[in-house]
Amino acid sequence: MVSSSSEGANVADAYKKALGTAASVTAYAMLARGMARELLPDELRAAVRRGAEFLRARLGARDKERNTLVVRRQFENNGYSAGGNDLFDASRAYLATKMDARAMRRLCLSRSCIRDSDGSSSWNTLLCMEQGVSTTDVFDGIEFRWTSIEDGGGSDDGKRQGKGESLELSFDAEHTDTALEKYVPFITSTAEELRRRDRALKIFMNDGGMWYGINHYHPASFDTVAMDPALKKAIVDDLDRFLKRKEYYRRIGKAWKRGYLLYGRPGTGKSSLVAAMANYLRFNLYDLDLSGVYNNSALQRILIDMPNKSILVIEDIDCSFDTMSREDRKAAETDDMEYQMDANRQGGSQENKLSLSGLLNFIDGLWSTCGEERIIVFTTNYKDRLDPALLRPGRMDMHVYMGHCGWDAFKMLARNYHLVDEHALFPEIQELLAVVEVTPAEVSEMLLRSEDVDAAMRLLTEFLQQRRQMTTTIARDEMAHERCVWHDRSGIA
């Protein structure tokens, strides 16, 4: 048996002989590669290859001209500090998503106050690069190198003015257009998205022609709203598609808006679904009470005041215009001075009174292009009472029926409220749900009555049995009544 070292020596001798007769450098290189293949372990060869690639990259990079974009924390105006630089904040927030805290020896955390477009502010804690540290980001296949620069330090050419922390972004000069036209906008939009995701959501209400907002901590999400799973998926997919379609809407010449009509009995989860949509999109809610809006001009003003990326909700839309006409009648009949004064204060006359067409004009008429990336939600308990103009194809993009609590919806509620997927009473509950009509709100209430899962399921089963009993009694009474009416009409004694 030949040992591996003597085998190696034999191979080396054979190569030496061959080298002696090799006539060209190419042949030598080929032989050297072959020799390395046989003599060096795999790991060592891989390390040599990586080293060679690194050297090649460094030598190649040195040949290329580099450009540097300086992003200062404070921008300057005639030598005076003129305030914070939003691009600096955006870059820092973006870079924080690229850092791996576990791989860093020195961590730097910063906490700053972020102002939102609606005037609110929130605190934000970020992982940052230490001064002097660099990191590389790859975008569109191009390497962008970021370096955090110390306060007041000079740049290579000594021309940097003013003090303050800055971030330097360097890249191959040939990619300057991509850097400015694509990469920087990508950073700002990513940072904007992150900011929106982190902020506390708000719900705004209208009063006297103005919006007033408070923090909105509704816990509803698409995981907690109990409804037909296929319908839920269709809504989530629709929202996702909508968000991605800015260019598409522009191309087809339509306002970037999406309308949903949610209808169903009280307690079927219409408001919960709106809250889930807001939480999913991280959009603020604007809950418009039309009884506080006196005319179309006031409506236009208040809708214009809504920022983009928001959800406009008009609940019980079937009642909104009825209420208005009642108010109008009352004003006309009693010459209600207060009402008139309010209307005048809102800047319009009764001739310009609020109308459904005024609202529709905002949804898909000329005013629809004011603002973009907006969701409009109407809810109603009675779809059949709606003005056909609202139901016209294309007006509300999706009509969502929030129905009675079915088996799938119940299972979702049971999992959410009691963390169970199985229970001895499930088969009976399934049978009962197939024959009685109860709302998810009623089922939720039963499930909430006890923290003990057995007790809660028993209470729900009893409730469903009673409901079935009631339904049977009512149906029997109705049939008996109809029989009497038939007897009366036919004159049978």
Ligand X SMILES: Nc1ncnc2c1ncn2[C@@H]1O[C@H](COP(=O)(O)OP(=O)(O)OP(=O)(O)O)[C@@H](O)[C@H]1O
Task: Please identify, using beta-carbon distances, which residue of 148 and 271 lies nearer to ligand X.
Answer: 271
Residues 415-444 that bind ligand X (CB under 6 A): 440-441, 444
Task: Please identify, using beta-carbon distances, which residue of 209 and 403 lies nearer to ligand X.
Answer: 403
Give start and end residues of each alpha helix (H) in 179-316.
Answer: 184-198, 229-244, 246-252, 270-281, 296-304
Which pairing describes strands 284-287 and 257-263: parallel, antiparallel, or unpaired?
unpaired
Task: Please identify, using beta-carbon distances, which residue of 69 and 429 lies nearer to ligand X.
Answer: 429
Q: What gap in Å lies between CA 324 and CA 337, rounded to an integer?
A: 16
- In angstroms, give the least distance from the CB of 221 to ligand X: 10
CB of 257 closer than 8 Å to CB of 372: yes
Task: Please identify, using beta-carbon distances, which residue of 135 and 381 lies nearer to ligand X.
Answer: 381
Both tokens of 24, joined, read 């060209």
268 binds ligand X (CB under 6 A): yes
Which range in 83-91, 192-200, 263-271, 358-366 contacts ligand X by CB under 6 A? Answer: 263-271
Q: Which of 270, 353, 374, 418 binds ligand X (CB under 6 A)?
A: 270
272 binds ligand X (CB under 6 A): yes
Which pairing describes strands 166-172 and 66-72: parallel, antiparallel, or unpaired?
antiparallel
Q: What gap in Å lies between CA 215 and CA 64, rounded to an integer?
A: 52
Which range in 24-32, 178-186, 228-236, 264-272 contacts ligand X by CB under 6 A? Answer: 264-272
- In angstroms, give the least distance from the CB of 329 to ligand X: 26
- In angstroms, give the least distance from the CB of 274 to ligand X: 8
387 Cβ contact partners less than 8 Å away, ≥ 6 residues apart = 321, 356
- In angstroms, give the least distance from the CB of 323 to ligand X: 16
Angle between helices 356-364 and 296-304 (to 10 degrees): 30
Torsion sign, CA atoms 483, 486, 490, 493: positive
Q: Sheet harboring 166-172: ordered strands across?
A: 66-72, 166-172, 142-149, 134-139
- In angstroms, give the least distance from the CB of 445 to ligand X: 7
Q: Which of 81, 135, 381, 450 binds ligand X (CB under 6 A)?
A: 381
- In angstroms, give the least distance from the CB of 437 to ligand X: 14
Q: What gap in Å lies between CA 354 and CA 261, rounded to an integer?
A: 21
269 binds ligand X (CB under 6 A): yes
- In angstroms, give the least distance from the CB of 487 to ligand X: 40
- In angstroms, give the least distance from the CB of 465 to ligand X: 21
Task: Please identify, using beta-carbon distances, which residue of 441 and 453 lies nearer to ligand X.
Answer: 441
Task: Please identify, using beta-carbon distances, which residue of 184 and 220 lies nearer to ligand X.
Answer: 220
Both tokens of 471, joined, read 């339904």
Residues 277-306 that bind ligand X (CB under 6 A): none
Q: Which of 166, 271, 296, 320 binds ligand X (CB under 6 A)?
A: 271
The residue written with tokens 């940097």 in the block is 160
Torsion sign, CA atoms 429, 431, 433, 435: negative
Which range in 95-103, 203-211, 259-267, 454-462 contacts ligand X by CB under 6 A? Answer: 259-267
The residue written with tokens 């010449």 in the block is 253
Nearest of 192, 195, 193, 171 to residue 183 by alpha carbon: 171
Task: Please identify, using beta-carbon distances, which residue of 224 and 346 lies nearer to ligand X.
Answer: 224
267 binds ligand X (CB under 6 A): yes
Residues 217-236 that bind ligand X (CB under 6 A): 224-227
Residue 61, number of CB atoms within 10 A of its CB: 11
- In angstroms, give the least distance from the CB of 267 to ligand X: 5
Which pairing describes strands 80-84 and 134-139: parallel, antiparallel, or unpaired?
unpaired
Residue 362, number of CB atoms within 10 A of its CB: 21
Query: Site residues (CB under 6 A) for ligand X?
Result: 224-227, 264, 266-272, 381, 402, 440-441, 444
